[in-house]
Amino acid sequence: MLSKYNIKSSMWLFTFTLFMMVHANTFAQDKTLSGTILDGETSTPLPGVNVQVKGTVIGTVTDFDGKFTLSVPEESQILMFSFIGYKTQETQIGSKTKFSISLEVDAEQLEEVVVVGYGVQKKSLITGATTSVDTELLQNRSSGTLTDAMAGITPGVSLTPNSGMPGADAKVRIRGAGSNGNSEPLYIIDGIKSGSISDLAPEDIESIEVLKDAASAAIYGSEGGNGVILVTTKAGQKGEAKISYNFRYGIQSADKRNLPKTLNADQYIQFQNEMNQHNPGNTPLTPTGYNTNWVDQVVENAPIQSHTLSMQGGSETTTYYTSLNYYEQDGIVGGDKASYDRLNARFNVKQQLKKWANLSSNLTYSRENRKSLTDQDEYRGLMTSALSLEPTIPVAFEPGKENANTIAGINSGFPMYKDAQGRYYSTSNQGLSESTNPFVQMELGNGGKQRDKFLGVMALEIKPFEGFSFTSRPSIEWNTERDHYYDKPFWSGADNNSNTLKVTDNNTRYFQWMWENFATYNKTFGDHTIAATVGMSAQQSEWRVLNTASGPMNVNDPLYNEHAYTGVANNDLNSWTDENRMVSYFGRVSYDYKNRYMLTATVRNDMTSTAMVPYKNISGVFPSFSAGWNISNEEFFPEDFVIDYLKLRGSWGQNGSIKSIPGRYLYSPSMRTDRINLVVPGNDLIFGAEPSVLPNPDLTWETSEQTNIGIDLNAFDGKVSFGLDWYRKITRDLLSVAQVPASVGNWAPSTNLGDVENTGVEVVLGYSNHDHEFQYGVNLNFATLKNKVIKVNTPAPYIAGANIGPGWQQATVFQEGYPMWYFRGYETAGVNSDNGDPIFVDKDGDGEITDGDKTNIGDPHPDVTYGGQIFASYKGFDFNMVMQGQAGSQAVIGWFRPDRLKANTLTHFYDDRWTESNRGGSMPRPTTQSEFYQSDFLVQSADFFRIKQMQFGYTFEKQLMEKIHVGGLRVYVSLDDFFTFNKYPGMDPIAGNNDPNALGIDKGVYPTPRKLMFGLNISL
């Protein structure tokens, strides 16, 4: 593991090297040129124009007034001037030292282009549903992952954090969950398919495009069923080298206004004694003199920081971009025992080999280190313990004050942990030994995950004649992960302890190579334009896993937590390999007439290996069609109308989701030989075999079909923008384990069991005004989602999903006519005012409350997601605010269990409970009824509104910075995730979970930290 000292030393060395590179050419300069660059139409100065000596790296950029000064060698001949949106201009230097240049607007460049699959396309000609992410906004976010940084600014894309713990990734869903398995989109980074974008540094990102409809994603065939996210990293620009350093440092804290409110000692004693009134054998509780708020005790302030050093530049034929990023974050629960750090290094270069040939290479390496504590576990999670432990014990006992269970632990011979003052950490005296003291859990936390990842792509582009290009693009992804930890002995109670020292090492290696070759041809014939792309792709991936465990350790010390220092009494070894291959052919044809009428057709044929599906199903064809009408380009459209641009578009297409198949050869039978022994004549014993899992020769991947209709509009000279999309997406052949009668005697195979439908509307509305010195704008987005299972191919009424503890079985189910994995439990009709018992609804009318009365009591999928951005600037000051929210979803308080009746609970169940003096209470009396813990009383609204970021910045005047040879300097302060408004009584309304069938179940989720950030951006 890299030390912080080594990282900082490397950054200083990197800085010094870049400094020397930039200044190495200054000794030969002996001629000074100066001048002014103007807009050819308005004669206004142009700041930021690249001024470069042709064929060299000698150059500069114009200042705020369009002026430049440049020292060049005496023999320099040609000066080049280039700027985005303008035509590049060259002029002879000769004997001149003063220049006045007017640049001509390039209408082709001014039109925005977006990245699409295997190419780029003018935004006005896009006929599918795509969204561009504001990458400039991403670079000032304090998020450790790119996915979290996208929250609130990407319509139709929901991002649910798996946890608030540092380094935790998020579930990304484009237009809702389309699979009961893996619903993650396909990530393409500089043309490389990758399983994640969480390891990318936001500062390296040039653009992000989200392909949401089937027509946009169909060119990715069997991997585009859940949408596609295209990430393009930064490339170098011609001209003088530019060095940038971005620094962020902040303090994280818990939002105590939104932390769960648990019972204090007096309330806990009162609540337990009321419950025990109906259980005469229990002794009433009395005050102990302690009153511990465990949730407040475990949270703390924690640091977060990020450093990014980058350099870019280039000559007429070569451009480069290189960067080094370091990110570090400690946890607000557990500190450095729940920490994350990441080192990124990137080098992108492009070389013009000939006028007709370019070669580019993008290389990136990342190392991640993550330490974590047990999270989202209703049995032994750290936050679950903090929520459940009785408040009538302290964090640690004063010497001689230990309770009976702690004394039993001391006498047991098991290790008992102490705090910094030498006091024993407490254990529960109410039989809650499963809830280990959170501070002991922090002591037990050790080891962690280390992941190394390398992505490399090389692209050769050949343009033998006008309009035609051929690209050959090989790429690799190499990924290794080591999950290393050791189990330390502990005592929490007679039924929750361990005296085993055991080392565990889980090692994973993933390698993928891919080679894509594709040709593109663009040709305009009068008013007609045709663009065509055709290509093929071959890829192979290999996943090797080696899991090892050994013990006992000879010494309980982190220095000896390796297999070399353990005994041989308890060793374990397990390994397996997963391989897959795919060959693909794809094509796309686009046509437009006068930039008015656009048609696009796409098709892809994927052929995978028989490791995934049977031979007869290895091939799939995925077509799409889309059309657009630029109404504003029609002759009848008024020229002086308030609407500047109006486009109507529609699309239909199909995609697949091969990664929804969770393993290899699932269609084949599995055999077992254990305990199959037969005695044959002669008393001979033979061993037999039988299928343990039945075969399924019809297994295939999931396929989605989507229809999309959209409108794009700009008005009032581009100040107002509006977009509207309606979609209907049906995913067929969802995978699950089939259910067969018990009489069959075998386990059922994976089977294509059902279809799911997602429908919704997405709206984007923006306004910006840059006419005056005070500039401002607002961008809002809004999306609806209706998720429904429309078909289940199984004789059973539903497919069982997640359980909550030992008592709530089949808490989520997959059933026709309902949302995917809705919460199945008992519906209630209030509280009986006579006795305080919950009133359960008898859904089947048989006069009894049984499992058959369980019904839909909640939906984890939000009906509405929304977000937005407000920005403003005046002179050097700027303000930016990002918002995020959702409505119409529910979450389950899943750590509150019927088998732990003496556990603490929330004031939500206490404040308005039924008592003899409060017979109209909204909550039942303290109850031991197991049905209560499986009812809608535990289902709460997950609606929330969160201000993701509120940032204030100041950019120093350029003239002042030039005096100290600084190109630009901006400082800022930011409040990130600081304000959340919700009514959810648990930890976080976005109850993350790693299991797709347990979305919305809060099993003690790690809290999302709020951050006070300070930042600095400097360029040279």
Look at 81-90, 350-359, 499-508, 938-947 and tell me which has the smallest mean pLDDT. 81-90
* Predicted confidence band of residue 367 (pLDDT cuts 50, 70, 90): very high
Of 203, 169, 251, 170, the C-alpha closest to 451 is 169
Output phi, psi for 494, to 5 deg. -65, -25
Distance, in Å, from the CA atom of 514 to the CA atom of 192, rounded to the nearest integer, reads: 8
Q: Are 125 and 222 in a shared domain?
A: yes
pLDDT of residue 626: 96
- Does any domain span residue 122? yes
Q: Is residue 76 part of a domain?
A: yes
**In this predicted model, what pLDDT tens digit does every residue of 284-336 receive, in sequence order?**
899 999 999 999 999 999 999 999 999 999 888 899 999 999 999 999 999 99
Does one domain contain both 74 and 94?
Answer: yes
CB of 375 within 8 A of CB of 298?
no
Q: Is the distance from CB of 901 to CB of 950 less than 8 angstroms? A: no
CA 918 to each of CA 265, 324, 828, 838, 905: distance values in angstroms, whole numbers, following the listed order: 21, 63, 19, 15, 20
pLDDT at 265 over 90: yes
* 637-647 tens-digit pLDDT: 998 889 999 99
The string of pLDDT tens digits covering residues 799-853 is 888 999 888 999 999 999 999 999 999 999 999 999 999 999 999 999 999 999 9
Domain boundary among 216, 239, 262: 239
- Note down the domain range covering 65: 31-103
Question: Is it the case that residue 262 has pLDDT exceeding 50?
Answer: yes
Do 405 and 429 touch, CB atoms closer than 8 A? yes
Residues 68 and 149 in one domain: no
3-state per-residue secondary structure call for 594-646: CCCEEEEEEEEEEEECCCCCCHHHCEEEEEEEEEEEEHHHCCCCCCCCCEEEE
- Helix ranges, 644-760 (H): none
Question: Cβ contacts of residue 317 below 8 Å, gap of 6+?
Answer: 55, 351, 352
Instruction: Give residue-wise pLDDT tens across range 454-481.
Output: 999 999 999 999 999 999 999 999 999 9
991 pLDDT higher than 80: no
Name the one residue in this structure whose structure tokens are 């280990």.
Answer: 436
What tens digit of pLDDT does each residue of 126-181 get? 888 998 887 777 776 767 678 878 888 888 898 888 888 998 888 899 999 888 77
Kindly state the average pLDDT of the residues 859-881: 94
Residue 24 is predicted with a pLDDT of: 40
Mean pLDDT of 400-429: 92
1018 closest CA partner among 333, 63, 284, 242 = 242
Assess if residue 213 is contained within a domain: yes
More confident of the two residues 41 and 349: 349
State how far the Cα of 908 lies from the Cα of 11, in Å rounded to an integer. 51
**pLDDT tens-digit map of 853-866:** 999 999 999 999 99
Mean predicted confidence (pLDDT) in 703-732:
94
Residue 966 within any structural domain of the chain: no
The mean pLDDT of 701-705, rounded to a whole number, is 90
pLDDT at 348 (0 to 100): 97
**Tokens 């179940």 -> residue:** 1001
Would residue 319 count as lying in a domain? no
Q: Residue 290 has what pLDDT?
A: 96
Tell which residue, 370, 384, 377, has the closest CA to residue 330.
370
More confident residue, 703 or 61: 703
Residue with tokens 């992941």: 451
How many folded domains does the chain comprise?
2
Residue 415 one-letter amino acid: P
> Minimal CA–CA distance to 331: which of 367, 382, 377?
382
Do 35 and 99 share a structural domain?
yes
What residue type is assigned to position 769 of the chain?
A: N
pLDDT tens-digit map of 543-560 = 899 888 877 776 777 766
> Given this model, what pLDDT does residue 517 score?
97
What confidence score (pLDDT) does residue 803 get?
92
Whether 177 is covered by a domain: the verdict is yes
Mean of pLDDT over the chain: 87
Whether residues 118 and 233 share a domain: the answer is: yes
Q: Are residues 97 and 146 in the same domain?
A: no
**Whole-number pLDDT of residue 992:** 66
**Same-domain pairing of 141 and 74:** no
pLDDT at 743 over 70: no
What whole-number distance in Å separates Cα of residue 776 and Cα of residue 723? 20
The predicted pLDDT at position 8 comes to 45
pLDDT confidence band for 514 (50 / 70 / 90): very high
204 in the same domain as 145: yes
Q: How far is CA 501 from CA 416, 490, 626, in A?
A: 14, 10, 62
